[in-house]
Amino acid sequence: MSLTLSSPELIQTLVNEINHSAACLASNGTFASDISRRTLIATAEKLVLATRSPEENIFAIAQQPAQNAALRCAIALGIPSELAVDGSPRSVDELAVATGAEKTLLARILRACASTSLMIETSEHHYAHNSVSRTLLSPTNRALLTLMYDYNGRGVLALPEFLKSRHWCDAGSYTDCAFMLGSRTELPMWEYRDQDEDCKRIFDLGMQSEIVASLSTGKPSGPFPFGEELALGEHRREEEPVTIVDIGGGRGQALEQIRADHPELTGRFVLMDLAPVIDSAVAAGLPSWIEPVAGSFFDPLPIQGARAYFIRRVMHNWDDKACRIILRNTAAAMEPSFSRLLITDMVVDDVGAVREMAWEDLNMMTIGGVERTERQWRELLDECGLRAHKIWRNSAIEHAIIDARLK
């Protein structure tokens, strides 16, 4: 393998930038902003790439499926729960007894985990928690990573074969996608989830993960100032207007977060989803101030003239054809000069997209979805009689909120 560095001319500059960033750390080891922290991460990664040879870089990328497999094996064996929480080491012999795994096999898996800093190898055949492995003590985090490996992973691995079968002409659709090929099923993702109890349980638990929540910083409801922007003021209708309709809102978690973060909001709060989802939300104890309404966003909306229609982490699941139906149905329900559509989703930079977003777009491609660029969002909205009034975002890798109005 060549030892020629990929970008030797950049190394000293990157080292200087890292030293400068480190000098800006507060005495308690915190950054002034998350942007400065992410800048340091990006610079450190560039330094690694510059210092490796080109062959080492491409080989490191190709090895990532093995890293993911080691993580999935550790979760399946229950290793995070068997390691001592206080960080003291446990031997492979002890862990083999606790998990029922053959110790030589287990040692190989643990070695692979430690080699990528998933845990600490304190001495030969002894392992302990670190800050990374401790995140796996959370059942929701374990569920999310299991979902990504067991279900999303099947689609990702099948993606080259699937796209080749379509002569690299299109990415498929919700009802004809790489996930279906990889899972050997005739069911699209959501129908597959609903008929597979293990998948449904893992999905529901994984969506509660702090990893998902961390994609929106600040208040749990995201960067949009609901209280300031959705103040009702004078309204000509005699009845109390609807402040928010959460379209496809599941069990109402987003509405609860919004009300908790913005208690000044008045008016009615409506949760709209398919009838089985609404029934489940009510059975789970939906707050009395949330009005449940059964309906599909592929049909005309039952609530007209609301102040805001809210679609949260939904649109990226669908291709443009399906999204046009959703957007046109919503636009038809909106009242000019009063209603607005709020879309919480990823907005990928038109140029220089960050790695996380580019990879997430391929994940969504496997089920027929898309992570859209700002240009794609604006064009899609325009086709459906809407315009992007403002995009509220904290950073390039977090969920943004698109504030759209009727044209």
Asked if 284 and 251 count as a contact pair (C-beta separation under 8 A), the reply is yes
Q: In whole angstroms, what is the distance from residue 407 CA to residue 403 CA?
A: 13
Respond yes or no: is residue 389 known to be catalytic: no
300-303: long-range pairs with CB below 8 Å, 24+? 300/329, 300/332, 300/333, 301/245, 301/247, 301/272, 301/329, 301/330, 301/332, 301/333, 302/272, 303/242, 303/245, 303/270, 303/272, 303/333
What string of H, E and C letters represents the secondary structure of 26-87?
CCCCCCCCHHHHHHHHHHHHHHHHHHCCHHHHHHHHHCHHHHHHHHHHHHHHCHHHHCCCCC
Cα gap 181→8, rounded to integer Å: 43
The active-site residue, picked from 125, 316, 389, 399, is: 316
Q: Which residue has the tokens 């009300």?
A: 259
Cβ-contact 172, 161 below 8 angstroms: no
Interaxial angle between packed helices 92-99 and 103-115, expressed in degrees from 0 to 180 and rounded to the nearest 10: 110
Give the three-class secondary structure for 151: helix
Pairing status of strand 386-392 against strand 400-406: antiparallel
Backbone angles phi, psi at 272, to 5 degrees: -120, 130
Hunting for tokens 């919700």 — which residue is that? 174
| Residues annotated as catalytic (active site), given as ranges | 316
